[in-house]
Structures are given as structure tokens and as C-alpha cells.
Amino acid sequence: MNRITGIAILSVLIFSSALAQNSGQISGSLESNTHYYLRDDLLLITKPENPVASNNYLLLQYNNGPFSGALQYEAYMPPLSGYPYQLEGNRLTYLNFRYTKEVIDVTAGSFYEQFGNGLILRAYESRELGINNAVNGVRVIIKPVKFLRITGILGRTRSYLDISSSYLRGFNTELDIGEVMKTKLGLKLGGGFINRYQEYTGPVFNFPASVNAYSLRLSANYSNLNIETEYANKGIDPSIANLNSMANGGAFLVNGNYTAAGFGIYASARFLKSMDFRSERESYGNYMMINYLPANTWQHTTLLGGIYPYSTQARGEASIQTDINYSLQKGTFPGGSYGTKLRFGFSHVRNLKDTNSPILISFGNQVYYQDLTFEITRKWSPSVKTITALTALKYDKAVIEYPGADFVKAIILNAESQIRISTTFSLRTELQHLWTKQDDGNWLAGLAEVGLAPHLSFFVSDMWNYQNQGAEPHYYNSGISFSTDYMRISTGYGRQREGLICAGGVCQRVPAYRGFNLKLTVNF
Amino acid sequence: MKKLSTLIVLLSFTTTGFSQTRLPSVVLKSTDGDEVRLSDYAALKKPLIISFWATYCGPCLEEFEAVTDLYDEWKKEVDFEFIAVSIDDSRSAARVKSMASGKNWPFIVLIDENQDVKRAMNVIDIPFCFIFDKNGKYVYKHSGYLPGDEFVMLKELKKITDE
């Protein structure tokens, strides 16, 4: 699709909206993220020839009764450090027309879609990682009765700024048995199927050019308890990413929740093997995935909690986790006058006993990752709150990042305070320490943020790897942000650590840099 | 780059003529897995605060804690509904229900697992909140959360109920 088409459509949208103010509506968003890179002797970074990089996205949407349309224009000039170089350039990457009325919903053009938990299909966008695998084709959703939904798709997924060479087709059904039976037990059944066809012209006899994957789901919901399960299977799919494995893929997932007033427990287990499913068998890394296999672990967002994030091992792993939230009663001794909240999380990932065995549910003897976190949030007065968290981690860096790396055992302590000085003026601080005898040794980190609601905030932070055998680097950052009702602008200066950056369940290795950043987002 | 800057300038002039003025009818899920649409809530004929969040978003949890503390007080002053739309994907969507209950949140919590509603409402970063009046018409939006923003929400709510 060329830019002229995009501009023509854009003009039509604007003019039609102008002509029919009452019937049509245009909305959209704009995001612009620009970095300016500097030379850094400590990080051994030389200043690039063109030190400016910029990722930009413009989304326009048009709605008029049952009709809607959307387009997205993206420009990477060039892509920011850490993003794939294949994104360089600019293009109209997303364009669709949709008709939704009563039982039918038809989309022609680009669309995002997810079947169940995404074990066989998730077409989505993650700008943080430069991932966008929207399907370009046709999608039809039919809901003939309240308890049944059928989705059919046909198309090709996006690959960087282009379209991949394979074809996807599939369907998904959701059946609400609880609605049919009119019972209190909410029971839902689901099933999905995906076929990917990519032409094969190589010499291997009987090579599977066409790969099928299916999944079956069941969820039950009764009073305070709910459980959902999904089983997925994928056919033989030799690719670069799985080292031309001729194994069938499988996944089994079970999630459960039990809730009571002020209490909630979540537990999950997932087993998977050979589930890496891509739109092109030659691709590698996080790009051009068809399915979604997020890490089944707690997502840490503190400065030091982000140093050792787990990343799913699609060739085979077994994981369990739990997350418990509990609010202590206000006015009691442990709860205090203003309330205390507790959170406990545990996750554990290891290999499967035998990835060649047809038995999927098994635990091997190699630990990939383990995380035990206990967090207390206490409000001491209407204006003072603290969050204290202790995390014990095990992280097999050799499996998760690169061969030969350490098996890291670490303890992280985080002490956070939030102080409201007035109804608009606030101060937030974080102080953290990470202890480890492996990898780069201990870290110390701190952050201070001043908020002037509702428009302005400033922050400074530093992460100091003071036991690093090399340079004991400081990773400092500072920034200011300003927001109005429809716009937010932020700018900063700092030094970024090399490592895994994670968004949602996907992690990506990014290089270190030092420089300035500027981000603008507009919602209109 | 030049084309893009021109576009940005043009847009900043035209944004007043645009906006997400209605609640989208895109499907999302309740914490029990039932299909719902934000447009369904227009039938309540009440002002609505719609706040996008995720289980891993610190400022979002801070905002909800502030709203939880003030919720009963606000309800006495204004008859409104607060809807927290989680954009957690399948990594963490299943834990939304236990978190909402464990933190004693008194408001409605919905799950937008593949971020269809987030996209329909042109949200880029979270937290992000919208206020709609009782006729389902957009009146206010705000990106980010800073302590004290909740008082701006209340002011906006009162403004539309006084009208």
C-alpha cells in the first residue's frame, strides 16, 4: 500500500467528517519518540554518524454508525536503538474498513486478533518492542445467538514494514454453556484452529509447508471461584528458531482465582514444548510470531527488579505461579488506622523432564527461574504511604540470555515512600539494593519524583553497579513531563543499561546508550 | 521527518475538531469472563469515569488506592460509576480478579486482553482516564496519574452533574 493511497483515504475521512459533522466521527492518536545519542567512553559507545533516531506513529479512526475505518502510518527515521533495523523507513502499515451490525462483524484490511490465551494466535501491537503482527486480510465474526460467537480469519501477517510470505487461515468459537443452561455455574467452551501455509522450495521430501495448530478451552466460574484451562497442539514445523526440530508442539495452561472480601488468590500452571510458531520459518527473535507465549511470572517494574526478567523458553518449560493479595482490616493493630495491604508472589520455571516424550505435564531437574516476593503497602496517615518489598530470585542467565553466563541468585530490597505535601504537590522516592555474588555483583539504586498535579512531574534516578569488575557504572536518568487533557510531552537525559527490556510477556535485548529523549503523545 | 512535522503541526490545529465523543461498542470481558461493551454502560444514565490500567502499572495502582479511599465520600456527592479497564494481556489478565478483590476495590473492573478498547479510544500510555457524562458523551480526559489528580476528577464530575 503506498502513501498516496493513505493520504487519499485520510483526505476522504477528513472531508466526509467535515461534511457530515453529526453522523461521522474522527478520532486518533499520535506518538513521537525521539532520541539523540551521545558518545560514552565508559560504555565504549562512539557517537553515531547520525545521532538522531525517531519512532513515530499516527493512528486515525473513523466511525459512522455500523461503518468504521482505521489507518496507521509509521515512520522510523531511523528506528530507536534496540529496535530491529528492518523497520527503517515509513509506511502506511495498517488500514481497515469494518462493518458491525447486530449478529455480524466484518473487517477487510488489517486487524488484530487473539484466540483464547493466544497460545495459537495473537496478532497485536507492542510499540515498546517494535512488535506488530497485525493480520492483513478478512475477518468475519458471527454471533447468531447470545451464547455463540464464531470468528473466521484469512490473511497474511505483517512483517516489519512489509507483509510476510505466508498465509494464515483459521477459526475460533466461543460457546457460553452457562447462558444456554441458565445456571449459576458459568461454564464456557472454546476452540480454535490456525493453518499457516508458507511455500517450500527446498530439497527435503515431505517438508511441512502447511502447519496446523488447534486449541481447546474450558472455563468454569462459580461464586468466588473460577478456573480456566487451555490445551494447544501444533504440528511439525521445522524452522531456524527451533533448529529444524521435527517435533510436535503442545501446551497446557490452567489458571484459577479464589476471592473473598479483601482477599484474592491467583494460581497458574503452564507446560509447553516446541510451541514457537512464526509466520516465516526463516525468522528469529521476537518478530513475526503468530502465537503469544508470555513469561508465566510476576512482572517487576522497579529499577533493579528489571535486571533479571524471565523470558519464556518456547522449546520446553514447566512453570507454576501464585499471587496473593490481602487487605488487613483498617482500625485493627496490624491494619493501622489507614490500611495495610499485603501481596505475596511466587513463580517457578524449570525444564520439562523430557521434551521428546509425548507426556507434556512433567518437571525436569533444571531450574530456569524462581521468584519469591513479599510486599507490604502501608498508609501511615492521609499523606504518607510506604511500600516495602523483598524479592529472592534465581535466574539461569545461560539459558535465558547467552551460553556460558552465570546462574544468578539475587536478593532485592525495595523501600518506596509516597508523601502528599498538599492536594497537588507530592514526592515519591525509591531506594533499592540488589545483592548477588554472581554476574556483575551488587547494585544500589534510588529514585526521586516530584509531582505537581495535574500537569507537571520531574524525576531523577540512578542505578549503580558498584561491584562491577569493570567500570562500576552509574546508569543515571532524569526527566520532566507535562500533560494536558489531550497531550503529554516528556523529555529526559540519561544512560540506559544493556539488557533485556520487557513489555507484556516478551523481552528483548537492547544495547546500552547515553543521550537525550523526547516523547510526545496526543489523543484526539 | 519534514512530512511528519507538517502533519504534527496540522494535527495540533485540527485536534479541537476531533475527539472520541462516544463510548465504543468494542467487546471486552468482565472478571467472570462474560462479554461486555463500554457502550452498554451508557444505559446506566450516570456519569462514568473510565480508567485504563494494568496489574504491573505502579501509578495506576496508586490512582485506584486514592479513588478507593474517597469512593464512598464521592458517591454521596455524585451518582457515578468508575470503570477500571485492565489492558493486561494473557500474561497477567487472569490475575486481575484476585488483585481487585484483594485490594478491596469498590468499582467495576473489566479486562481488555488484546487491547481493542484501548486502541478504539486512542490510548497510548497508561494510566489514562476519561470522563463521560450521563448521555455517554465525552467531557474530560487525562494521561498519567499524579497524587491529587483524583480531585480534578471529582471537580469534573461535579461540573457535569451541576449542569
pLDDT 10s digits, A129-185: 889 999 999 999 999 999 999 999 999 999 999 999 999 999 999 999 988 888 888
Do A233 and A204 belong together in one domain?
yes
Do A184 and A255 belong together in one domain?
yes
B4 contact A CB<8A = yes
Find residues 139-158 of chain B whose CB sits inside 8 Å of chain A: 140-144, 146-149, 151-152
For residues A60-65, average pLDDT: 92
Do A483 and A512 belong together in one domain?
yes
pLDDT band at A444 (very low <50, low <70, confident <90, very high): very high
Is residue A88 scored above 80 in pLDDT? yes
Task: Give the domain CATH number at A497.
Answer: 2.40.160
| Contact assessment for residue B138 and residue B130, using Cβ atoms and an 8 Å cutoff | yes
Position with higher pLDDT, A48 vs A256: A256
Q: Which of A101, A130, A161 is the last residue of a domain?
A: A101
Do A314 and A380 belong together in one domain?
yes
| Contact assessment for residue B93 and residue B84, using Cβ atoms and an 8 Å cutoff | no
For residues A280-289, average pLDDT: 88
* Residue A8 CB coordination number (10 Å): 11
B124 contact A CB<8A = yes
pLDDT 10s digits, A139-150: 999 999 999 999
Is residue A398 scored above 80 in pLDDT? yes
Alpha-carbon distance A218 to A166, whole Å? 30
Contact assignment for A481 to B144 by CB distance below 8 Å:
yes
Alpha-carbon distance A268 to A65, whole Å? 41
Do A195 and A240 belong together in one domain?
yes
Do A162 and A228 belong together in one domain?
yes
For β-strands B128-132 and B138-143, DSSP reports them as antiparallel
Q: Which of A80, A101, A122 is the last residue of a domain?
A: A101
Contact assignment for A265 to B7 by CB distance below 8 Å:
no
Do A236 and A334 belong together in one domain?
no
Find the closest chain A residue to B142 by CA distance: A485
Do A168 and A269 belong together in one domain?
yes
In the structure grid, which three cell numbers stand for residue A58, read together? 499516527
pLDDT 10s digits, B20-69: 567 888 999 999 989 999 999 989 999 999 999 999 998 999 999 999 99
* Residue A77, CA distances (Å) to A5, A50, A385, B3 in order: 21, 10, 43, 12
Do A523 and A438 belong together in one domain?
yes
Contacts of B148 in chain A (CB under 8 A): 420, 422-426, 451, 453-454
| Contact assessment for residue B96 and residue B31, using Cβ atoms and an 8 Å cutoff | yes
Q: Name the residue among A18, A7, A6 with its Cα closest to residue A95.
A: A6
Supply the range of the domain harboring residue A59: 1-101
Question: Chain-wide mean pLDDT for chain A?
Answer: 91
Alpha-carbon distance A33 to A439, whole Å? 32
Do A85 and A70 belong together in one domain?
yes
Is residue B10 scored above 60 in pLDDT? no
Q: Count Cβ neighbours within 10 Å for each residue of B39-70 and write b for 16 or more, e otherwise.
A: eebbeeeebbbbbbbbbbbbbbbbbbbbbbee
* Residue A85, CA distances (Å) to A31, A79, B33 in order: 19, 7, 40
Number of domains forming the structure of chain A: 3
- Domains recognised in chain B with CATH numbers: 22-162 (3.40.30.10)
Q: What are phi and psi of A352, to 5 degrees?
A: -85, 160
| Residue B18 confidence (pLDDT) | 46
In the structure grid, which three cell numbers stand for residue A520, read together? 510526545
For β-strands B81-86 and B48-53, DSSP reports them as parallel
Q: At what angle do helices B58-77 and B149-162 cross, to 10 degrees?
A: 40
* Residue A346, CA distances (Å) to A68, A76, A262, A327, A370 in order: 44, 39, 20, 18, 7
For residues A323-336, average pLDDT: 91
The radius of gyration of chain A from alpha carbons, rounded to an integer in Å, stands at 25
| Residue A8 confidence (pLDDT) | 60
Do A114 and A249 belong together in one domain?
yes
| Residue B160 confidence (pLDDT) | 87
| Residue B12 confidence (pLDDT) | 46
For residues A450-476, average pLDDT: 90
| Residue B135 confidence (pLDDT) | 87
Q: Which of A293, A319, A347 is the last residue of a domain?
A: A293
| Residue A301 confidence (pLDDT) | 84
Do A88 and A141 belong together in one domain?
no
Interface test with A, best of B30, B60, B104 (most A CBs within 10 A): B104
Alpha-carbon distance B113 to A230, whole Å? 16
Q: What are phi and psi of B60, to 5 degrees?
A: -65, -45
pTM listed for this prediction: 0.92
pLDDT 10s digits, A5-54: 555 655 555 555 555 445 688 999 999 999 999 998 887 788 778 899 99
| Residue A90 confidence (pLDDT) | 95
| Residue B3 confidence (pLDDT) | 54
Interface test with A, best of B22, B97, B115 (most A CBs within 10 A): B97
pLDDT band at A459 (very low <50, low <70, confident <90, very high): very high
Alpha-carbon distance A371 to A348, whole Å? 7
In this prediction the ipTM stands at: 0.92
